[in-house]
């Protein structure tokens, strides 16, 4: 099922993050290998979203290092993270509600667009060619996610499950090196979850995209992830393949509950 | 030197009156999250209603009560026919709706009461206070002082009201979170009607004071527009902020008007009056760059 | 049954990307352009040009400018009139002070000047949003008008800042008749509207809308907030500046700073609210509506007063105008926040089905 898992492409060392007096993350270290699906799990408030926010530059950790593809990334902001090829989705859907599905996905490719506003105003040759070239690419993503029928629909009008899928599409449109997924299946029913699982696995399988995913549904996590990190109160309490983590007594005590 | 103090004190006192108008904004913003651009128009409408009633023969106290009733009705109508229908929309849309409301009121008021400039006599005279003049040789208008005192008293009463009464607490709850307030049984619509009534009362007092000082005329709406920089300095949700902001704006605008034009005239030649038209706004703008939430406002943190 | 897409299949992305993908729309626009450029100059009278068509086009341009900033990029501005003023005065200064300056170049330079000032007053948008930004734009509005009144140099040393502009002359041809001025304005506005439409449906426009809808998410996908916002201010001010230059040179002939007051800024804002925020078509519809409304009231109110036997004084008409404006704004925001453009779209959708119910 899984692709050939490669070398470490993201290395997090001793990340500590504080908000005033609140310690969100304390000396977290773990790595992510190329082509793998890495899950982050933990109770609410454990710091999982904060961890993702650190990886893509939304928060700057007070201590620790982020090494991406061998390069130390100091003071990485969101723009630098996006340029480095880190894409993400959000827990509470961060789509551009005033735009269509197609526009949202095209927006995801903005870093790859080189023409400036004057060329756009004139719809000058290179600008037009560029737009159509990117449109072609985006249509591949649309095809992949089965959302052709809604490509011209304003995103605000779509049901929740489809919006989540569109958000995945926007992240994929950027052809990312690493995809961060923040609870991609939150609020979905069984069918929608199965669809989303399938897409995630397909992305990993066919495109080889490395993924870091936060998820609460244990069944999903155990099924699709290659390795798991467990957080609790901002500290790492488990790290390894799903079976190992499942049987770790600390993890069980904090999160999973005792087995029946 | 005395002249400087005269200008300063005059500015501070008019600043308190700006605070009054700003107070109306703060009340409505605190309770419903709506930035009521129509507050200025409400001041104008209130003042016109007051003079209008007095012209028809009512004594001041009766005219005041009648005008208050009119303002309350206006507030309730606004809440019922405009705001309630826009509950789901973005704050910007609500703000633009209040701009529309401002225009509506600015057309309605003179249509009902006529648009000539009228003097308003409320028994306070604009004379220098004798003993200050004699002792320190500074001109301090007794009107300004009385008006400032009245405004401060009103602010104190409102602050206490918000802090210590049951209704005041309910208002604060509503300002924080509509849904939560509803779920603990606070009657949202009654609260909003009450808030607009209080804001109307504040507008009436402001209109009365400004109107008797400068005459009741359309320009009152521009005076009220000056409350916006006051709010920026003080923070949109703070009653003490409205006062401090008002003092700063009032003082600085008068001082700028007196001391900057001669300097510019030296450099460029010509007349440079009218600085007070833009100075408060530029000051607010510069302030925003340093402290976006105002001196006393709440920090707004976006959770991703 | 006429407005159907049956049989019109797009076989390329290029075809899908057209501004008017439906053939009936293309025919409609072609007819409109022919009427505008050919028929109108031949049949319309002076009054129509001077009082209706020329100001309609100029205000549409200003509304376009504001729509780019407020409708597409989400930065609320109450200072559009001030940027029109900059455009008018800059065009005047360039034209009058530089020997032999072609008028069209003056217009472009005027737009660029306005764009420069726009960037300056747009800098606060990097730190502040929403109504705070609106107050900052008020600072621009009041300060700029004051400068134009008080610094005589800007109005070529006329007292109180009034300027009278010379006739527009391009390559020896004088545009001094109403149809000539109309065609000049029509050409410029059409070109700029096309440019605007191209911009908003490209990456530039998507970046603006992303910043409007959720700037945190926009940053995360790599959009630079500063560039995007300042570009919006620059382009918007450019459009307002050119509109201001046209306002002085092709419409009024003589302007003063107070003619670009807060009232005008509000008027332009109302145009985009009524017409449709975030819509190119909406800018035109809104401008037409706001421009024609006072004329309509001027005609209908006396008739109405005669009907109801209520005497209406002159001042009452302007009061009623204010009330109607205000009521309309509130009405549109409650009932159809996306304005006339959306109503137009809904109409077209219904037309596609006509005469069938669904």
Token digits of residue A104: 């949202």
Q: Which of A95, A111, A139 sits opposite C222 (nearest CB)?
A: A111
For C66-130, strand residue ranges (E) read: none
Stated as kind and residue range, the H or E segment containing C166 is: none
Q: Which of C130, C136, C334 sits opposite B285 (nearest CB)?
A: C136
Cα(C84)–Cα(C90) distance, integer angstroms:
10
Predicted pLDDT at A249: 84
Q: Are C220 and A82 a contacting pair at CB < 8 A?
A: yes
Residues 6+ apart with CB under 8 A from B108: B45, C319, C323
Residues 6+ apart with CB under 8 A from B134: none
Query: Minimal Cα–Cα distance from A58 to chain C, Å?
Result: 8
Q: Does residue A90 sit at the B interface (CB-CB below 8 Å)? A: yes
Model confidence pLDDT, tens digit, residues C286-330 = 999 999 988 888 888 777 777 776 666 666 777 888 888 899 889
Predicted pLDDT at C111: 95
The subunits that touch chain A, with at least 3 C-beta pairs less than 8 Å apart, are: B, C
User: Following CA atoms B233, B236, B242, B244 in sequence, which dihedral angle do they give, to the nearest 10 degrees?
Assistant: -30
Taking CA atoms, what residue in B is nearest to A52? B304
Per the model's pLDDT, the better-predicted residue between C80 and A121 turns out to be C80
The subunits that touch chain C, with at least 3 C-beta pairs less than 8 Å apart, are: A, B
Question: How many A×C Cβ pairs under 8 Å?
Answer: 99
Predicted pLDDT at B199: 87
Q: Which of A58, A103, A120 sits opposite C204 (nearest CB)?
A: A120
Positive or negative, the CA dihedral B240, B245, B246, B251 is positive
Q: Are C204 and A99 a contacting pair at CB < 8 A?
A: no
Predicted pLDDT at C9: 67
Q: Which of A87, A98, A106 sits opposite C278 (nearest CB)?
A: A98
Query: Minimal Cα–Cα distance from C258 to chain B, Å?
Result: 13
Predicted pLDDT at C125: 84
Query: Minimal Cα–Cα distance from B34 to chain A, Å?
Result: 23
Query: Minimal Cα–Cα distance from B51 to chain A, Å?
Result: 48
What is the percentage of chain A residues whose pLDDT exceeds 70?
97
Q: Which residues of C touch A79 (CB under 8 A)?
A: 219, 222, 224
Q: Which of A81, A121, A135 sits opposite C195 (nearest CB)?
A: A121
Cα(C237)–Cα(C268) distance, integer angstroms:
13
**A87 - beta bridge partners?**
A179
Stated as kind and residue range, the H or E segment containing A31 is: strand A22-33
Model confidence pLDDT, tens digit, residues C188-246 = 999 999 999 999 989 999 999 999 999 889 999 999 999 999 999 999 999 999 999 99
Q: How confident is the model at residue C27 (pLDDT cuts 50, 70, 90)?
A: confident
Q: Which of B91, B108, B271 sits opposite C323 (nearest CB)?
A: B108
* ipTM, interface predicted TM-score of the complex: 0.89
Q: Are B272 and C150 a contacting pair at CB < 8 A?
A: yes
- Which region among A103-107, A212-216, B34-38, C287-291 has the lowest average model confidence (pLDDT)? B34-38
Model confidence pLDDT, tens digit, residues C53-112 = 999 999 999 999 999 999 999 998 999 999 999 999 999 998 888 887 888 899 999 999
Residue B57: phi and psi, rounded to 5, are 115, -5
Predicted pLDDT at C123: 87
Is A66 strand, coil or helix? strand
CA angle C196, C200, C205 (to 5 degrees): 135
Taking CA atoms, what residue in C is nearest to A103? C206
Q: Which residues of C touch B281 (CB under 8 A)?
A: 135-136, 138-139, 142-143
Scan residues 154-193 of B and list those with Cβ closer than 8 Å to C: none
Sheet of A227-232, strand order:
A86-89, A178-182, A210-214, A37-41, A227-232, A235-240
Predicted pLDDT at B156: 81
CA C250 to chain centre: 16
Contact between residue C64 and residue C72 where contact means Cβ atoms under 8 Å apart: no
Q: Mean pLDDT across chain C, nearest whole number?
A: 86
Q: How many residues does chain B have?
A: 304
Taking CA atoms, what residue in A is nearest to B302? A58
Predicted pLDDT at B304: 45
Model confidence pLDDT, tens digit, residues A2-19 = 468 888 899 999 999 998
Contact between residue B5 and residue B66 where contact means Cβ atoms under 8 Å apart: no
Q: Which residues of B touch A49 (CB under 8 A)?
A: 304
Q: Are A132 and C17 a contacting pair at CB < 8 A?
A: yes
Segments of chain B with pLDDT less than 70: 123-126, 131, 175, 178, 297-304
Q: How confident is the model at residue A212 (pLDDT cuts 50, 70, 90)?
A: very high
Taking CA atoms, what residue in C is nearest to B303? C216
Taking CA atoms, what residue in A is nearest to B301? A19
Taking CA atoms, what residue in B is nearest to C144? B278
Mean pLDDT confidence for A234-250: 87
What is the percentage of chain C residues whose pLDDT exceeds 90?
40
Model confidence pLDDT, tens digit, residues A44-67 = 888 898 999 999 888 999 989 999
Q: Does residue C333 sit at the B interface (CB-CB below 8 Å)? A: yes
Testing the interface with A: which of C220, C227, C239, C278 to mutate, by most A Cβ within 10 A?
A: C220
Q: How confident is the model at residue A88 (pLDDT cuts 50, 70, 90)?
A: very high
Q: Which residues of C touch B274 (CB under 8 A)?
A: 146, 149-150
Mean pLDDT confidence for C249-277: 91
Match 């004071």 to its residue by tokens: B209
Cα(C346)–Cα(C358) distance, integer angstroms:
13
Q: Counting Cβ atoms within 10 Å, is residue A91 exposed (0-12), middle (13-18) or buried (19+)?
A: middle
Is C223 strand, coil or helix? coil
Distances (CA, A) of B128 to B135, B151, C273, C349: 12, 19, 49, 71
Predicted pLDDT at B62: 87
Q: Are C216 and B302 a contacting pair at CB < 8 A?
A: yes
Instruction: Give me the half-sphere count of Cα atoms (radius 13 Å) on the Cβ side of residue C1.
Output: 2
Is the pLDDT score of A179 beyond 90?
A: yes
Query: Minimal Cα–Cα distance from A184 to chain B, Å?
Result: 15
Testing the interface with C: which of B217, B261, B278 to mutate, by most C Cβ within 10 A?
A: B278
Query: Minimal Cα–Cα distance from B228 to chain A, Å?
Result: 30
Match 């699982």 to its residue by tokens: A197
Predicted pLDDT at C2: 63
Stated as kind and residue range, the H or E segment containing A257 is: none
Q: Does residue C296 sit at the B interface (CB-CB below 8 Å)? A: no
Stated as kind and residue range, the H or E segment containing A205 is: none
DSSP class per residue in chain B? -HHHHHHHHHHHHHHHHHHHHHHHHHHHHHHH----TTHHHHHHHHHHHHHHHHHTT--HHHHHHHHHHHHHHHHHHHIIIIIGGGTTS-HHHHHHHHHHHHHHHHHHHHHHH--S-B----S----B-HHHHHHH----BHHHHHHHHHHHHHHHHHHHHHHHSHHHHHHHHHHH-HHHHHHTT--HHHHHHHHHHHHHHHHHHHHHHHHHHH-BSTTHHHHHHTHHHHHHHH-TT-HHHHHHHHHHHHHHHHHHHHHHHHHHHHHH-S----GGGTHHHHHHHHHHHH-TT-SSPPP-----
Report which of A12, A124, A170 is spatially closest to residue C222, judged by C-alpha positions.
A170
Stated as kind and residue range, the H or E segment containing C94 is: helix C80-97
Contact between residue C240 and residue C91 where contact means Cβ atoms under 8 Å apart: no
């Amino acid at each position: 099922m899984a692709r050939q898992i490669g070398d470490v492409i993201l290395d997090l060392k001793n990340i500590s993050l504080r908000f005033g007096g609140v310690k969100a993350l304390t000396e977290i270290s773990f790595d992510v290998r190329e082509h793998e699906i890495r899950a982050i799990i933990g109770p609410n408030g454990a710091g999982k979203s904060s961890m993702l926010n650190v990886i893509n530059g939304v928060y700057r950790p007070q201590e620790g290092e982020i090494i991406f593809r061998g390069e130390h990334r100091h003071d990485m902001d969101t723009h630098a993270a996006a340029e480095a090829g880190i894409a993400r989705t959000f827990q509470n859907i961060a789509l551009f509600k005033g735009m269509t599905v197609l526009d949202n996905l095209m927006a995801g490719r903005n870093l790859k667009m080189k023409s400036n506003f004057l060329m756009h105003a004139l719809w000058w040759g290179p600008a037009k060619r560029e737009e159509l070239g990117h449109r072609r690419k985006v249509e591949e993503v649309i095809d992949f996610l089965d959302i052709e029928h809604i490509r011209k629909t304003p995103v605000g009008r779509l049901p929740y499950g489809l919006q989540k899928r569109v958000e995945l599409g926007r992240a994929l449109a950027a052809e990312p090196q690493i995809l961060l997924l923040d609870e991609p299946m939150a609020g979905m029913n069984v069918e929608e979850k199965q669809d989303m699982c399938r897409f995630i696995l397909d992305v990993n399988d066919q495109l080889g995209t490395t993924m870091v995913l936060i998820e609460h549904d244990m069944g999903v996590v155990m099924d699709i992830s290659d390795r798991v990190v467990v957080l609790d109160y901002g500290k790492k309490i488990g790290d390894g393949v799903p079976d190992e983590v499942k049987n770790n007594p600390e993890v069980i005590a904090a999160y999973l509950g005792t087995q029946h | 030197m005395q002249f400087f103090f005269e200008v300063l004190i005059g500015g501070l006192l008019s600043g308190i009156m700006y605070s009054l108008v700003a107070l109306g904004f703060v009340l409505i913003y605190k309770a419903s999250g709506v930035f009521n651009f129509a507050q200025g128009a409400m001041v104008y409408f209130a003042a016109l209603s007051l003079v209008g009633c007095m012209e028809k023969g009512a004594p001041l106290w009766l005219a005041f009560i009648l005008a208050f009733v009119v303002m309350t009705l206006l507030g309730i109508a606004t809440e019922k026919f405009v705001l309630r229908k826009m509950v789901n929309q973005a704050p910007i849309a609500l703000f633009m709706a209040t701009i529309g409301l401002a225009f509506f009121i600015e057309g309605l008021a003179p249509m009902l009461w006529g648009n000539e400039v009228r003097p308003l006599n409320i028994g306070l005279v604009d004379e220098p206070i004798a003993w200050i003049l004699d002792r320190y040789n500074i001109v301090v208008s007794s009107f300004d002082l009385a008006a400032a005192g009245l405004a401060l008293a009103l602010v104190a009463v409102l602050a206490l009201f918000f802090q210590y009464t049951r209704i005041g607490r309910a208002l604060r709850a509503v300002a924080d979170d509509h849904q939560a307030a509803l779920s603990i049984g606070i009657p949202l619509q009654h609260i909003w009607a009450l808030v607009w009534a209080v804001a109307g009362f504040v507008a009436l007092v402001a209109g009365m004071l400004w109107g008797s000082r400068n005459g009741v005329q359309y320009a009152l709406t521009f005076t009220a527009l000056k409350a916006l920089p006051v709010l920026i300095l003080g923070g949109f949700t703070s009653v003490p902020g409205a006062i401090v902001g008002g003092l700063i704006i009032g003082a600085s605008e008068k001082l700028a008007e007196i001391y900057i034009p001669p300097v510019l005239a030296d450099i460029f030649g010509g007349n440079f009056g009218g600085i007070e038209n833009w100075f408060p706004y530029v000051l607010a703008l510069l302030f925003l760059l340093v402290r976006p939430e105002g001196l006393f406002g709440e920090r707004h943190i976006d959770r991703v | 049954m006429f407005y159907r897409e049956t049989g019109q299949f797009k076989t390329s992305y290029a075809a899908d990307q057209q501004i008017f993908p439906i053939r009936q729309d293309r025919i409609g626009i072609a007819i409109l352009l022919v009427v505008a450029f050919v028929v109108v100059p031949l049949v319309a009278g002076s009054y129509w040009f001077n009082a209706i068509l020329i100001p309609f086009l100029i205000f549409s341009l200003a509304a376009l400018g504001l729509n780019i900033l407020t409708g597409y990029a989400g930065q609320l501005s109450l200072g559009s009139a001030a940027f029109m003023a900059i455009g008018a005065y800059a065009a005047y200064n360039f034209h009058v002070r530089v020997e032999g300056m072609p008028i069209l170049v003056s217009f472009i330079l005027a737009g660029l000047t306005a764009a420069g000032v726009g960037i300056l007053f747009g800098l606060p948008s990097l730190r502040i949003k929403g109504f705070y930004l609106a107050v900052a734009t008020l600072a621009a509005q009041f300060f700029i008008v004051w400068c134009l009144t008080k610094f005589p140099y800007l109005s070529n040393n006329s007292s109180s800042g009034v300027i009278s502009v010379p006739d527009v002359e391009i390559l020896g041809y004088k545009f001094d008749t109403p149809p000539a001025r109309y065609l000049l304005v029509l050409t410029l506005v059409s070109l700029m509207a096309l440019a605007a439409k191209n911009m908003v449906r490209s990456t530039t426009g998507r970046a603006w809308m992303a910043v409007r809808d959720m700037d945190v998410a926009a940053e995360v996908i790599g959009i630079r907030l500063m560039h995007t916002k300042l570009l919006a201010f620059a382009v918007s001010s450019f459009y307002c500046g050119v509109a201001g230059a046209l306002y002085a040179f092709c419409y009024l002939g003589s302007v003063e700073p107070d003619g670009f007051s807060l009232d005008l800024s509000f008027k332009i804002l109302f145009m985009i609210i009524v017409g449709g925020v975030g819509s190119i078509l909406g800018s035109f519809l809104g401008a037409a509506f706001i421009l024609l409304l006072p004329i309509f009231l001027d005609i209908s109110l006396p008739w109405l007063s005669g009907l109801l036997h209520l005497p209406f004084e002159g001042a009452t008409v302007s009061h009623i105008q204010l009330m109607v404006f205000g009521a309309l704004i509130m009405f549109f925001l409650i009932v159809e926040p996306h304005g006339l453009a959306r109503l137009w779209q809904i109409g077209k959708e219904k037309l596609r089905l006509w005469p069938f119910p669904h």
